[in-house]
Amino acid sequence: MTWQNQALPPDHPPVSSGAVGVLLVNLGTPDAPDTPSVKRYLAEFLSDRRVVEIPPIAWQPILRGIILNTRPKKSAEAYQQVWTEAGSPLAAITAEQATKLQERLGDSVQVGWAMRYGSPAMGTELQRLKDAGCERILLAPLYPQYCAATTASVVDKAGDWLRETRWQPTLRTLPPYHDDPAYITALSEDIGRQLDALDFEPELLVLSFHGMPERTLHQGDPYHCHCQKTSRLLEAALARPGLRLRTTFQSRFGNAKWLGPATDDVLDQEARAGTRRLAITAPGFSADCLETLEELAIRGREQFVEAGGEQFHALSCLNAGATGMAMLETLVRRELTGWV
């Protein structure tokens, strides 16, 4: 008998070990579509130095004195328009993705999910996996395009938990997959299927990515380049010569110059220039959320029609559909090589 498989002393505390975990992580959501919940969520989100890079001594008075006293009510009203019986769409879809990935990976891996901001918290879920015996954990930020404000923030938060953990598991991080063939193929197949199901033929397909302040590009963040490459590869994979594609950036906030062109500006400009049939999709979002279901599908439609457009459709994200789950399984299995 070797020392590895010798019986533990009778007074040894129970220890779970030897397992492998996967933690899917998305951005976050309030716990309820009401003002107090949204205020708590925004306070955490907008206090992240990766998200707002203004020194706290200058930013916190603005955040606490102005933004958190005005924005939560308006945001809560927006959340109320997309909230479901299962709760927040983003949370419900991420939970479904975790469940389906668990089914695909089988018992050799334990799959969990967490939000960078809000619940379930990353630290709580990392601890749960560790307590279940996961000595190796793949951290999987569901952001195809790398950005310091998203991917790096997830890694930062994992580091915060590791810093307080005496017996640390080994962590790997899923790399950005903006140009991965599995991702581009999944997008092109899913978008193509949705376009074919429409009762009109779009003249234009808008690829709307979440915006970032333009200064982040000049500071070396690859996010803008990753988005543009995704768009180029997706256009080639779709191979629809009669369909124009435009890359835009949504969700501007504050007075700084943001990456452009802005999605809302393009919707207005295209309608006024004579575009009558338009579809829009958000390739950078792994799951439908406030930004896709309210900002694009509701407000985007209103803006396009008011400016003279006639037919508008917001396509769904990959979500937990078979195409998206096959892609996610491919990416995760690759990163688990040598562990499973």
316 and 159 in contact (C-beta within 8 Å)?
no
Residue 222 burial (10 A CB sphere; 0-12, 13-18, 19+): middle
267 and 202 in contact (C-beta within 8 Å)?
no
In a domain, residue 255? The reply is yes
Which amino acid would we find at residue 210? H
Residue 118 confidence (pLDDT): 96
**Domain count within the chain:** 1
In a domain, residue 142? The reply is no
In a domain, residue 326? The reply is no
Residue 7 confidence (pLDDT): 67
CA–CA–CA angle 204, 205, 209 (5° rounding): 140
pLDDT in tens, the chain (340 residues): 344 556 667 776 666 678 999 999 999 999 999 999 999 999 999 999 999 999 999 999 999 999 999 999 999 999 999 999 999 999 999 999 999 999 999 999 999 999 999 999 999 999 999 999 999 999 999 999 999 999 999 999 999 999 999 999 999 999 999 999 999 999 999 999 999 999 999 999 999 999 999 999 999 999 999 999 999 999 999 999 999 999 999 999 878 899 999 999 999 999 999 999 999 999 999 999 999 999 999 999 999 999 999 999 999 999 999 999 999 999 999 999 999 9
In a domain, residue 275? The reply is yes
Which residues form the domain of 259? 181-314
Return the CATH number at 264: 3.40.50.1400
Tokens of 12: 């040894």
Q: Bin 167: left if φ > 0, else alpha if -120 < ψ < 50, else beta.
A: beta
In a domain, residue 247? The reply is yes
Residue 14 confidence (pLDDT): 67
Q: List, in sequence order, the alpha helices (H) in the chain.
A: 35-45, 56-62, 68-82, 89-105, 122-131, 153-163, 181-196, 215-218, 223-238, 263-272, 290, 301-306, 322-335
In a domain, residue 246? The reply is yes
Residue 164 confidence (pLDDT): 97
